[in-house]
Amino acid sequence: MLDGRGWQALQRSAGRAEVAVEAGPHGAHLRKLRQEGSAKAFLPKGAPNEAVFLNTSGGLTGGDRLCFSLDLGDGLDFTATTQTAERAYASADGTAEMRVAATVGANARFAWLPQETILYENSRLRRVTDISLAQGATALICEMIILGRHAMQEKPRAISFQDVRRVHHGGRLLWSEAIRLGPGHCDRHQSTAILGGARCFATLALLGRDAESAAAALLPHMDNPACETAISAWSGKLILRAAAHHSWPLRCQLAQILSCLRGKPMPRVWQMNGDIL
């Protein structure tokens, strides 16, 4: 099919998955599950307080739309993750759009721990994450970005990536940040003001009452020589940044830090080579 400019208009994927859970006698009880298009969600057997989201299209390219949504009841301790890495493929036209939204009930603990996002050469992706915390709730967020396919020796020069994160607590903005990477940034990625030559990076945020008190316990897990890691903590916020030349040591360090913060192993979908990180 041709569009108004005479170009071939390719079919694009669209998906939306919504999960709502509330407290039950054995943990979280599924109240609502809605799945459309390429977006799926499931609660693994034996993990009543965990949801896994999946994009069945295998990746995102220009014009694709994907939305994951979670409504978490009061008092729960719940984790959401993704089944595998998300891939932003080369886009011939347009920008892929991804949205993550979570509403977290009073005194609940929510962890959003997706697996890494890989940005291919010529990819275009805009992602927005909005989390709303009720009074007494906390959120743990960790996202890792990989620039190019390392096994293919790919070093992206022409990518467009926008990542916006917003967390509200009790109706007030608690934390907000935006990342933008474009062709100009990739050309200067050796600069210490950008990535210092790193080819993957991650942001971890713990948000909520007394979050800053967890900083001291993380210091012993920040000594991986293959990663450059720094942490700041203040006023109910703990923010950790990490970067590395290779994804594996960064992934391992993040898993150690997250396991320390959560007091339990990582979700089973993070399993690699038979070992749960």
The residue written with tokens 């210490």 in the block is: 192
| pLDDT (tens digit per residue) in 95-139 | 999 999 999 999 999 999 999 999 999 999 999 999 999 999 999
**How many structural domains compose the chain?**
1
Range of the domain at 207: 20-267
- 12, part of any domain: no
Residue 259 within any structural domain of the chain: yes
Residue 276 placed within a domain = no
Residues 6+ apart with CB under 8 A from 6: none
Q: Confirm whether 1 is domain-assigned.
A: no
273 located within any domain: no
Per-residue pLDDT tens digits for 54-103 = 999 989 999 999 999 999 999 999 999 999 999 999 988 899 999 999 99
Q: What pLDDT, on the 0 to 100 scale, is given for residue 192? A: 64
The answer to whether residue 3 sits within a structural domain is no
pTM of the complete model: 0.90
User: Residue length, the chain?
Assistant: 277
